[in-house]
Copies of this chain bind each other. A is one copy, B any other.
Amino acid sequence: MPECNNIYSDKKTVTVNGREYQWPVQSTVVVCFDGCDPQYIDAASQAGLIPNLDKMRGSGFAGKALASMPTFTNPNNVSIVCGVSPNVHGVSGNFYFDRETGKDVMMVDSSPVRAPTLLSAFSRAGAKVVAITAKDKLRKALGKDLDGIAFSAEKANDATEAENGIGNVEALVGRSAPDQYSADLSLFVLDAGITLLETTRPDICYLSLSDYVQHKHAPNDPQALEFMVAVDQRLGKMLSLGARLGIVADHGMSDMADAGGNPRIVYLSDLLDEAFGAGKCRVICPITDPFVRHHGALGGFIRIHLMAPDIAIHDVLNFVRNIPGVALALPRDEACLMFEVADDREGDIAVVAIKGVALGAGKADHDLSQLSGARLRSHGSLTEQVVPFITSIPVKADPTHRLRNFDIFFALLNEAI
Given known pairs A322-B356, A354-B328, the reply for A66 and B402 (CB within 8 Å) is no
Q: Tell whether A399 is near chain B: CB-to-CB under 8 Å.
A: yes
Query: If A64-B333, A399-B343 touch, does A354 touch B338 (CB 8 Å cutoff)?
Result: no
Verify if A383 is at the interface (C-beta below 8 Å from B): yes
- Interface residue from B65, B328, B338, B340 paired with A327 (Cβ < 8 Å): B328
Q: Does A91 contact B (CB under 8 A)?
A: no
Q: Is the CB of A338 within 8 A of B400?
A: no
Q: Is A337 part of the binding interface, using a Cβ–Cβ cutoff of 8 Å?
A: yes
Q: For chain A residues 305-342, which have a beta carbon within 8 Å of chain B?
A: 321-322, 324, 326-329, 333-334, 337-338, 340, 342
- 13 cross-chain CB contacts under 8 A: A64-B333, A64-B334, A84-B400, A321-B354, A322-B356, A324-B324, A327-B327, A327-B354, A329-B355, A337-B386, A337-B402, A338-B402, A342-B399
A interface: dominant SS: mixed
On chain B, the residues within 8 Å of A382 by CB distance are 328, 338
Nearest CB to that of A84 among chain B residues?
B400
**B337 near A66: Cβ-Cβ < 8 Å:** yes
Task: Please list the residues of chain A having a beta carbon within 8 angstroms of any beta carbon in chain B.
Answer: 64-66, 84-85, 87-88, 321-322, 324, 326-329, 333-334, 337-338, 340, 342-343, 354-356, 382-383, 385-386, 399-400, 402-403
Interchain CB contact under 8 A, A355 and B386: no
A209 to chain B, nearest CB (A): 23
Copies of this polypeptide in the complex: 2
**Beta-carbon contact of A328 and B383 below 8 Å:** yes
With a cutoff of 8 Å between Cβ atoms, the chain B residues found around residue A88 in the complex are 400
Query: Which 7 pairs, one residue from A and one from B, show the smallest C-beta to C-beta distance?
Result: A327-B327, A87-B400, A334-B386, A88-B400, A321-B355, A340-B402, A327-B328
Report yes or no: B338 in contact with A326, Cβ–Cβ below 8 A: no
Assembled-state Cα–Cα distance A402/B327 (Å): 21
A337 CB contacts on chain B under 8 angstroms = 64-66, 386, 402-403
Q: Give A317's nearest chain B residue, CB to CB.
A: B355
Minimum CB distance partner of A39 in chain B: B314
In the complex the two chains form, what is the Cα distance from A337 to B329 in whole Å? 22
